[in-house]
Amino acid sequence: MKKILYSLLLVLAFGSSTQLDARPYDAAKVEQVLAQAHALYKDDKSGANADYIPALAKVDSERFAIAVVTVNGEVFTRGDINTRFSIQSISKVFTLALAMEQKGAEAIRDKIGVNATGLPFNSVAAIELNEARAVNPLVNAGAMATVSLIGGDKAEQKWQAISAWYEQFATTKLGVLEEVYSSESNSNGHNLAIAELLKSYGRFYGDVDINLDIYTRQCSVGVTTKELAMMASVLANGGTHPISGERLMSADNVERVLAVMTTAGLYETSGQWAYTVGLPAKSGVGGGIIAIMPGKFAIAAFSPRLDGAGNSVRAQKAIGYIADKAKANIFSHQD
Ligand code: DON
């Protein structure tokens, strides 16, 4: 029954008249929507590459790619799909997922915080303004503290756990983009100050230098847009990987990760995003964004030019267009 309803929804969403069989998507329709999104925004040159990490300023601003992975494991792509870019803050979602699986949802709420700060991703003021020094795992402060919660006695052990975890989501080997990693490591004073500040308030749970370095490495992991959509598809599928069939997260933890993405995934413009698009999402200053339609599909888009909040301009527009065409909005009434 659930399967039939689900198929019906997909058919309605993409306007298909195909049979309700094992492949409920009308692939041609989905590909058409992706092509339209790409064509509509490919000439949009608004925004600018991040430049506070020098290596990001050098990335080709023209790159633009979109990928969708459904909960059935179907993959649809468009644009510069083989371009590898740094995952940046999108990594925060997956490290949060690992910390939640290891320590439980309450530990994240109590030791990090889960309310939106409403302030920029690297805000020091956000820590100072909150009496409990609570932030959330998707801003730099909370993300570094989340890394400090991950189990592992030695730095290398911890890094192995995080990178292996990402690879389970991506279903492929991933590596660090060394140029980005060294560029970010050499311009990391602001993050170091944030981590030290949290530590001084008893809200950082390990050695600052070690955990800052692991955080920087995780942000420098290279992904293609397709790999990113593949990673995000686990969140669309309630914690079970649509391709490997492996359960990576509990369904309860997926709900909580999606809640934080909804309130804080696009930083101070998260409210506006929820208001207009209505999908849990997460951006990175490398130009990637993931968005999740629970029970249906994940979208990833990549384009390096960012708006003032650090969110890719074309990726936001492309995802917004696809979500609209698919009538995908978590706040919509579902029969
Ligand atoms: O720590 C930083 O500033 C970067 N490694 C990540 C920031 C980021 O991606 C914010 N996202 N939009």
User: Which of 51, 85, 89, 289 gets mutated to test ligand 1 (max ligand atoms within 8 A of its CB)?
Assistant: 89
Break the chain into its structural domains and give their ranges.
25-87+221-325, 89-219
Helices in the chain by DSSP H: which ranges?
A: 2-14, 27-41, 54-57, 91-103, 105-107, 125-129, 140-149, 155-170, 178-185, 189-200, 208-219, 225-236, 251-264, 270-276, 313-325
Domains 25-87+221-325 and 89-219 agree in fold: yes
Q: How far apart are CA 316 and CA 226, in angstroms?
A: 16
Q: At residue 240, what is the residue type?
A: T
Sign of the C-alpha dihedral computed for residues 133, 136, 139 and 143 taken in this order? positive
pLDDT in tens, 87-125: 999 999 999 999 999 999 999 999 999 999 999 999 999
Q: Are 326 and 33 in contact (CB under 8 A)?
A: yes
Q: What is the CA radius of gyration of the chain?
A: 19
Taking the mean position of all CA atoms in its chain, how far away is CA 67?
13
> How many Cβ atoms sit within 10 Å of the Cβ of residue 21?
7
Contacts of 172 (CB under 8 A, 6+ apart): 227, 230
Class of domain 25-87+221-325: alpha beta
Q: How far apart are CA 140 and CA 219, in angstroms?
A: 11
State in Å: Cα 317 to ligand 1 middle: 20
pLDDT in tens, 217-268: 999 999 999 999 999 999 999 999 999 999 999 999 999 999 999 999 999 9
Residues with CB under 6 A from ligand 1: 88-89, 121-122, 140, 184, 191, 219, 283-285, 310-311
Q: What's the confidence (pLDDT) of residue 335? A: 65
CATH number of 89-219: 3.40.710.10
Strand partners, 282: 290
Taking the mean position of all CA atoms in its chain, how far away is CA 14?
24
pLDDT in tens, 10-54: 444 444 432 223 356 789 999 999 999 999 999 999 999 999 999
In the chain, pLDDT over 70 holds for what percent of residues? 93
Burial category of 122 from C-beta neighbours within 10 Å (exposed 0-12, middle 13-18, buried 19 and up): middle
Mean pLDDT for the chain overall? 93
Q: How far apart are CA 277 and CA 292, in angstroms?
A: 11
State in Å: Cα 301 to ligand 1 middle: 17
Q: Average of pLDDT values for 142-155?
A: 95
Q: What's the confidence (pLDDT) of residue 3? A: 43
Q: How far apart are CA 204 and CA 192, in angstroms?
A: 12
> How many Cβ atoms sit within 10 Å of the Cβ of residue 100?
25
Entry pTM: 0.93
> How many Cβ atoms sit within 10 Å of the Cβ of residue 248?
20
Q: Which ligand 1 atom is the nearest neighbour of the CA of 89?
A: 9
State in Å: Cα 57 to ligand 1 middle: 14
